[in-house]
Amino acid sequence: MKILTEHINVPGIETIDVFRKHGGYSAVEKALKKMTPDEVTEEVKKSGLRGRGGAGFPVGMKWSFLAKPEGVPRYLVCNADESEPGTFKDHYLMWKSPHTLIEGMIVSSYALGANTSYIYVRGELMYVVNILEKAIQECYDKGLLGKNILGSGYDLDLFVQPGGGAYICGEETALLESLEGKRGNPRNKPPFPAVKGLWQSPTVVNNVESIAATSWIVNNGGEEYAKIGIGRSTGTKLISASGHLRKPGVYEIPLGITVEDFIYADEWCGGIREGHKLKAVVAGGSSVPILPAELILKTANGENRLMTYESLSDGGFATGTMLGSGGFVVMDETTCIVHNTLTFGQFYHHESCGQCSPCREGTGWMDKVLHRIEHGKGREEDIDLLVDVAKKIEGNTICPLGDAAAWPVAAAIRHFRDEFEWHIRHPEKATQKGAVFMREGASWTK
Amino acid sequence: MVNTQTIQFPADTLELVHKIIKRYPEGKQKSALLPILHLAQAEWRWCSPEVMDYVAGLLNIKPVEVYEVATFYTMFHLEPVGEHVIEYCRTGPCCLMGGVDVYDHLKKKLGIETGETTPDGKFTVKEVECLAACGWGPVFQIREKYYMNLTNEKVDEIIEELSK
Amino acid sequence: MKVTIDNITIEVEPGTTIMQAARQIGPEVAPPAMCYYEPLKASGGKCRGCLVKVTAGSEKDPRPMPKLVPSCITQVQEGMIVENTINEQVLETRKGIVEFLLLNHPLDCPICDQAGECHLQDFSFEHGVSKTRTVEERNTFEQVDLGDHIQLHMNRCILCYRCVYTADQITDGRVHGVMHRGDHAEISTYIEKAIDNDFSGNIIDVCPVGALTDKTYRFKNRVWFTKPVEAHCDCDKCSGNVTLWYRGEEVIRVTGRKNEWGEVKEFICNTCRFDRKKTSDWTIEGPSKVSRASVISANKYGANTIKPAFPIKQAAEQYKKIDDNRDRSFLAPQKQLN
């Protein structure tokens, strides 16, 4: 079942003519001509679609929070600042099929009563900005954007805004600050963007994948969408698969397949690269807890782990993780967990905006300590120190970047403490090129 | 080198600047800052204080508002750079795919370290964080172009092509 | 509306923040404020020093708030119950915040002009631990010259943004701001440039630490040896209401008047601050009430209120065994000491 990527490999799908030949923009026709904005919102609510950027908040509910005071413009802003390590699905979708996003933008803007909408794309993806702008121009030429779209009386202007290189702008209020031409410092909440967002006007910020999915929901109905998946994990999800896989790439999966299938089935990633064994997975982008092979395939209760919000988080952080943004990073037995944790530590240190003290100072501290351990200068007490620093950051910051920085460090120690200890106790071995600790009796140990 | 007297976008870019400013409501022209800094960097290769002052003038904002933004975002070069800026991803997933070795090879080939420019001014190498291309790593970016699934051989080819 | 903080209930206006409500009760329950500064719009929420526990959100919805909340920007609700000094999690978190703020701080109090009126000193004393757990090198910044009046020590800065808001809100041409990001973020003009306009000196008064100090007062005296006196003058630029800081008969510094929370309500002009340093320039009103912003009171750090358990615990923690093999021949014989 493919909703977003069914035609993604059709030659010329990036052009409006080919896209329309494959059913593109039928949702715009249907929504604008046959449905009221509230009816569109109602379908999205029924679909159970949850935010695909990482937090998993129900999209329809987020829309219903939008304040609608008279005479004040409302905005829809698409969050295409995809920067969470391990995640590259939005990049793929916009690059291959820009109209899929634009169609969703028109439908969603209509539902929200926005007459101006923006797609905020990370600046590094300037070539994608160009692809989107070209596609948007096609829409203006065909009367799908601009004044009185398809004679419906609805007006919409759509613009693409490039970022400048800052992971933090994926946080919705930092994104809005950035879109206002400022530093990407997250705002204190409340007020939430639904009340005071872009230029203090009510604003909805949604991920690329969430917005793109709304067209299908309009075409087929929310109930149809909700039939896909399991429980509260409805629909399909783009998973960015990277690391030691036979076939890394972006896959659209129906939520609910098993993790084991996703990793090993030929339909998906096709297994671990030749001659190697699965050691660990970061299932939802770098910020979610890493899990060792046995816990990613089965929950602590011995049940098959599924690719759903609920199953991946089964067991809480003690034995579970999160679906997050669907950045699925797979590591085989050649992976040094300490080194991998260090690269994530460096990442969050580098990307902290520096506004609030726990994140500004804590991310730098963890980076320095991890760096010492990786380079053979660790002390026995550093492991507990890292756990404690992570704990002092978590939950105490303005935005979720603090949590995102704390979780991977805490989880790596939770599940791979022996590797950290080995680094500290055997620096001469651990600092050799390619040296990796082998846990005795582990499924990945040869 | 940038000369204060000559800092002025060509006419067609200036036209684009005015078009960009119209994307935002009246009085919210500051929103055009990032797009215009990108244009400025494409024009002058790096964001010198003079260039930033010029951008501030175009948008009718204080120079310090441009400085604080340009220094926040990592894409803007605050020092002169070479003709080709190679920005390689050092984050986890690219490292899993052997990024460290490929990047070492790149630096050795060019004879420079991260943050440096070759003596002929042709190449600058910078280390960046995740470029959202993890499944196609190791990855680097030169201007708008992504180079994916890098190997030492591929790096050699790219450098040779760009050296011509 | 009614709000209860540390078991004390008070009636406040709607729109009041937890911080303001706590301040109305008194300094015993008021959370520390390192970045929040009431007279400055948009200040607060950054340092996280004032995080408190809301154990009941409101009468209508009495569920506790899941995370600690910044009291400086969180408005009270009818029937809200807040725990500040009586909550273990709050105190533990605050220890962490002190540790974070000191992590890259140079701890150069002995040569810092702010020592004695530094909020970071107060905060550390009241909420910190006495040991460091870090062995990392501290981040440092290059010196930036801000002109003849204001001395910037970026290494001491805690990035409260107060000086940025001050420049934005009370001067007409902000030339400094926060550059870069993360733990490399710094207060700077980016290009070397003096911060110089009629009200620029106020960024010194709002700075909670010794990052921005008065160059004309630099190394002149420790603040606890000076005598603050309220005075005013007829000024065409500002209210002319100031505090004069005396060393003997000499005015060595002029500042705005700070209230008990260390906040200046009436910002003063640079002429009053930097150029009027003779007693004859002023009409003297009388000695300043000693506020928490000053250590001239001998009891600043509550020498009279510190429970004996505290110094004993402190001493025990700091105790190091003396090396008994050291040469003690220079010491007077024991019996003579008796």
Say how far apart CA C274 and CA C284 lie, in whole Å. Answer: 18
My answer on whether C242 and C157 are in the same domain is: yes
pTM above threshold 0.90: yes
Residue C309 falls within a domain, yes or no?
no
Mutate to test the interface with A, among B16, B24, B34 (most CBs of A within 10 A): B34
Token pair 């920007």 is at which residue?
Answer: C73
Predicted confidence (pLDDT) per residue in C248-273, tens digit:
999 999 999 999 899 999 999 999 99
Helix boundaries (H) for chain B: 11-21, 33-44, 49-59, 63-70, 92-96, 99-110, 152-163
Has residue C7 got a pLDDT over 50? yes
| Mean pLDDT of the region A292-302 | 97
Least confident of A151-155, C164-168, C316-320: C316-320
Residues of C in contact with B72 (CB under 8 A): 179-181
C83: CATH? 3.10.20.740
**Residue range(s) defining the domain that contains residue B13:** 4-70
Neighbouring chains to A with at least 3 Cβ pairs closer than 8 Å: B, C
Cβ distance A84 to B31 less than 8 Å, yes or no, reads no
Cβ distance C175 to B64 less than 8 Å, yes or no, reads yes
Say how far apart CA A407 and CA A321 lie, in whole Å. Answer: 10
Q: Which residue of A lies nearest to C105 if distances are taken between CA atoms?
A: A361
**Residue range(s) defining the domain that contains residue C70:** 2-98
- What is the model's pLDDT at position C194? 86
B137: CATH? 3.40.30.10
Helix boundaries (H) for C171-308: 202-206, 270
Cβ distance B49 to C190 less than 8 Å, yes or no, reads yes
Cβ distance A164 to B73 less than 8 Å, yes or no, reads yes
**CA proximity to A324, closest of A408, A410, A205, A413:** A408
Has residue C296 got a pLDDT over 70? no
Exposure of C224 by Cβ count < 10 A (0-12 exposed, 13-18 middle, 19+ buried)?
Answer: middle
Largest CA distance in chain B: 52
My answer on whether B37 and B95 are in the same domain is: no
**CA proximity to C200, closest of C215, C210, C190, C184:** C215
DSSP state string for A357-424: HHHHHHHHHHHHHHHHHHTT---TTHHHHHHHHHHHHTT-SSSTHHHHHHHHHHHHHHHHHHHHHHHH
Is B95 assigned a ligand-binding role in the annotation? Answer: no
Question: What count of other Cβ atoms lies within 10 Å of the Cβ of residue A258?
Answer: 17
- What is the model's pLDDT at position C193? 82
Q: How is residue A397 written in tokens?
A: 């910051």
Q: How is residue A48 written in tokens?
A: 């159970």
Residue B79 falls within a domain, yes or no?
no
Residue C155 falls within a domain, yes or no?
yes
Residue B54 Cα, gap to closest chain A Cα (Å)? 16
CB A193 within 8 A of CB A204: yes
For residue C78, the SS3 value is coil
Question: What count of other Cβ atoms lies within 10 Å of the Cβ of residue C86?
Answer: 13
CATH topology of domain A16-227: Rossmann fold (3.40.50)
**CA proximity to C266, closest of C227, C233, C220, C228:** C233
CB C191 within 8 A of CB C179: no
C245: CATH? 3.30.70.20
Predicted confidence (pLDDT) per residue in A344-381, tens digit:
999 999 999 999 999 999 999 999 999 999 999 999 99
Torsion angle (degrees, nearest 10) of CA A133, A138, A140, A142: -170
Q: Which of residues B16, B36, B70 is at a domain's end?
A: B70
Residue C34 falls within a domain, yes or no?
yes
Cβ distance B62 to C175 less than 8 Å, yes or no, reads yes
Say how far apart CA C192 and CA C150 lie, in whole Å. Answer: 13
Residue B8 falls within a domain, yes or no?
yes
Within the 29-88 window of chain B, which residues sit less than 8 Å (CB to CB) from chain A? 30-35, 37-38, 59, 61, 65, 68-70, 72-76, 87
Residues of B in contact with A178 (CB under 8 A): 34
Residue B77 falls within a domain, yes or no?
no
Question: What count of other Cβ atoms lies within 10 Å of the Cβ of residue C260?
Answer: 14
Residues of B in contact with C176 (CB under 8 A): 64
Within the 137-196 window of chain C, which residues sit less than 8 Å (CB to CB) from chain B? 173-181, 189-191
Predicted confidence (pLDDT) per residue in A220-268, tens digit:
999 999 999 999 999 999 999 999 999 999 999 999 999 999 999 999 9
CB C182 within 8 A of CB A351: yes
- What is the model's pLDDT at position B2? 47
Residue C314 falls within a domain, yes or no?
no
Q: How is residue A180 written in tokens?
A: 């206002």
Say how far apart CA A142 and CA A147 lie, in whole Å. Answer: 11
Is B94 assigned a ligand-binding role in the annotation? Answer: yes
Residues of A in contact with C128 (CB under 8 A): none
Domain edges within chain A:
16-227, 231-332, 337-430
My answer on whether C81 and C216 are in the same domain is: no
Say how far apart CA B47 and CA A57 lie, in whole Å. Answer: 39
Say how far apart CA A52 and CA A208 lie, in whole Å. Answer: 8
Helix boundaries (H) for C233-286: 270
Predicted confidence (pLDDT) per residue in A116-129, tens digit:
999 999 999 999 99
- What is the model's pLDDT at position B128? 96
Has residue C337 got a pLDDT over 50? no
CA atoms in the 13 A half-sphere facing the CB of C36: 23
- What is the model's pLDDT at position B3? 52
Cβ distance C174 to B64 less than 8 Å, yes or no, reads yes
Residue C249 falls within a domain, yes or no?
yes
Q: Which of residues B44, B70, B96 is at a domain's end?
A: B70
Q: How is residue B23 written in tokens?
A: 């994307």
Say how far apart CA C157 and CA C35 lie, in whole Å. Answer: 11
Residue B31 falls within a domain, yes or no?
yes
Residues of A in contact with C134 (CB under 8 A): 365
* DSSP secondary structure letter of residue C289: P
Query: Which residues in A315-336 are b (16+ Cβ under 10 Å) and which e?
Result: beeebbbbbbbbbbbbbbbebb
Residues of A in contact with C46 (CB under 8 A): 355-357, 398
My answer on whether B65 and B88 are in the same domain is: no
My answer on whether B64 and B99 are in the same domain is: no
Residue B140 falls within a domain, yes or no?
yes
Cβ distance A183 to B146 less than 8 Å, yes or no, reads no
Q: Which helix (H) or strand (E) holds A80?
A: strand A75-80
Class of domain A337-430: mainly alpha
My answer on whether B41 and B88 are in the same domain is: no
- What is the model's pLDDT at position C196? 84
Within the 76-95 window of chain A, which residues sit less than 8 Å (CB to CB) from chain B? 82-88, 90-91
My answer on whether C83 and C115 are in the same domain is: no
Comparing C175 with C334, the larger pLDDT belongs to C175
My answer on whether B112 and B141 are in the same domain is: yes
Say how far apart CA C122 and CA B49 lie, in whole Å. Answer: 39
Q: Which helix (H) or strand (E) holds A433?
A: none
Q: How many domains does chain C have?
A: 2
Neighbouring chains to C with at least 3 Cβ pairs closer than 8 Å: A, B
> Band of the pLDDT at A4, cuts 50, 70, 90?
very high
Residue C330 falls within a domain, yes or no?
no
What are residue A104's DSSP bridge partners? none
| Mean pLDDT of the region A29-47 | 97
Token pair 């604003």 is at which residue?
Answer: A203
- What is the model's pLDDT at position C293? 45
My answer on whether C86 and C30 are in the same domain is: yes
Q: How many domains does chain B have?
A: 2
My answer on whether C117 and C249 are in the same domain is: yes
Residue C230 falls within a domain, yes or no?
yes
Mutate to test the interface with C, among A356, A357, A377 (most CBs of C within 10 A): A357
Question: What count of other Cβ atoms lies within 10 Å of the Cβ of residue A216?
Answer: 26
Q: How far is CA B61 from CA A389, B52, B54, in A?
A: 40, 11, 10
Predicted confidence (pLDDT) per residue in C65-120, tens digit:
999 999 999 999 999 999 999 999 999 999 999 999 999 999 999 999 999 999 99
List the CATH code of the domain at A231-332.
3.10.20.600
Cβ distance B73 to A184 less than 8 Å, yes or no, reads yes
B53: CATH? 1.10.10.1590
My answer on whether C160 and C283 are in the same domain is: yes
B145 near A CB under 8 A: yes
Cβ distance A335 to B30 less than 8 Å, yes or no, reads no
| Mean pLDDT of the region A201-218 | 98
Helix boundaries (H) for chain C: 18-25, 88-103, 119-127, 162-170, 202-206, 270, 309-318, 334-337
CA A390 to chain centre: 22
Cβ distance A396 to C47 less than 8 Å, yes or no, reads no
B132 near A CB under 8 A: yes
Which residues of chain B are modeled with pLDDT < 50? 1-2
Cβ distance A88 to B35 less than 8 Å, yes or no, reads no
Residue C311 falls within a domain, yes or no?
no
List of E strands, chain C:
2-5, 8-11, 51-56, 69-70, 80-83, 150-152, 177-179, 186-188, 212-214, 227-232, 241-247, 250-256, 283-287
Residue B61 Cα, gap to closest chain A Cα (Å)? 11
Q: Which of residues B45, B70, B95 is at a domain's end?
A: B70
| Mean pLDDT of the region A384-402 | 97
My answer on whether B88 and B59 are in the same domain is: no
- Name the percent of chain C lying above pLDDT 90: 77
Is B89 assigned a ligand-binding role in the annotation? Answer: yes
CB A16 within 8 A of CB A26: no
